[in-house]
Amino acid sequence: MKNDDVEHWSLKHPEFGLLELFIGEPDALRRIDPDFPTSSKKTDADNSTEPEAQEVAEGDVEDEGASTKEDSEKFLKKLAEKLDDLDKKRQLLVRRDGVTIARYKSLENQKIDLGKSDATVKAGKYGGEMTLSAPYLGWTSNFLDSWMIEVKVKDDEGVVVFDPPEGSRAAKRWEAMEESPFKRWFYPLITGLGKGGWALAVIVLGPLVSKLIAWLLSFLPDWDINIP
């Protein structure tokens, strides 16, 4: 199914049939599933026509003669694109052999039970048959749940990973991992750390960073400025 507003992940599994994930804004997903819940944000339709912000390539080098002003303008433009991209309310539609089995308001990590072939979700409602054990269809999103990193199926035979859609951020991530031995182990490491791991790291490292900043500030002179 061709829809430029929607990121489409698909896998034809020998046991569980055609599994599909559609990522996009509610209005776009409703063109695939007419029962997808109505958007609660008035600007969703307007935002859905805006181009997706491009990832900044690692190691990009600015023109040698670029001025500080030009650098600043480029930085602000990229920052604005990133903020605009995060503002888009991408949601998730999951189908099995053309039947909707789950709908979610975000791309937050989930595992959908594939053991129930008749599992469906009510028209106009969010939700899905979640599980913690195989067989399941699961996915991993980035830290901000703004784009999909990986989708996989796990059963008693093992794990099958979806090929990321061409041109998607996940596809670019795989390309970067293939080109760099460092990224090949570093990317999965930070992904596997998860939100809980990052929160723990902040709790543990926060005081240390605070002390480091205080130590650096101790080298600055004390200025006594009197303002009349």
Greater model confidence, 130 or 185: 130
Average confidence score pLDDT of the chain: 76
Q: Tell me: do 117 and 150 sit in the same domain.
A: yes
pLDDT above 50 for 204: yes
Determine the average pLDDT of the residues in 60-68: 52
Q: Tell me: do 129 and 38 sit in the same domain.
A: yes
How does residue 118 score in pLDDT terms, banded at 50, 70 and 90?
confident
Q: Tell me: do 101 and 209 sit in the same domain.
A: no
Note whether residue 228 is domain-resident. Answer: no
The residue assigned the tokens 């039947």 is 99
pTM across the whole model: 0.62
Q: Tell me: do 53 and 166 sit in the same domain.
A: yes
Quote the percentage of the chain above a pLDDT of 90: 45
Q: Tell me: do 169 and 204 sit in the same domain.
A: no
pLDDT digits (tens, 9 = 90+) for 70-104: 777 776 666 655 555 554 689 999 999 999 999 99
Q: Tell me: do 26 and 124 sit in the same domain.
A: yes
Note whether residue 2 is domain-resident. Answer: no
Residue 61 has a pLDDT of 42
Note whether residue 227 is domain-resident. Answer: no
Residue 104 has a pLDDT of 97
pLDDT digits (tens, 9 = 90+) for 3-12: 668 999 999 9
Q: Tell me: do 129 and 207 sit in the same domain.
A: no
Residue 84 has a pLDDT of 55
Quote the CA–CA distance of 8 and 151 in Å, as a whole number.
Answer: 11
User: Residue 16, Cα to own-chain centre: how many angstroms?
Assistant: 25
- Structural domain count, the chain: 2
- The per-type count for the chain, helices as H runs and strands as E runs, is 5, 9
Q: Tell me: do 34 and 145 sit in the same domain.
A: yes
Domain that holds residue 96: 7-57+65-175
Note whether residue 225 is domain-resident. Answer: no
The residue assigned the tokens 């031995």 is 181
Q: Tell me: do 160 and 86 sit in the same domain.
A: yes
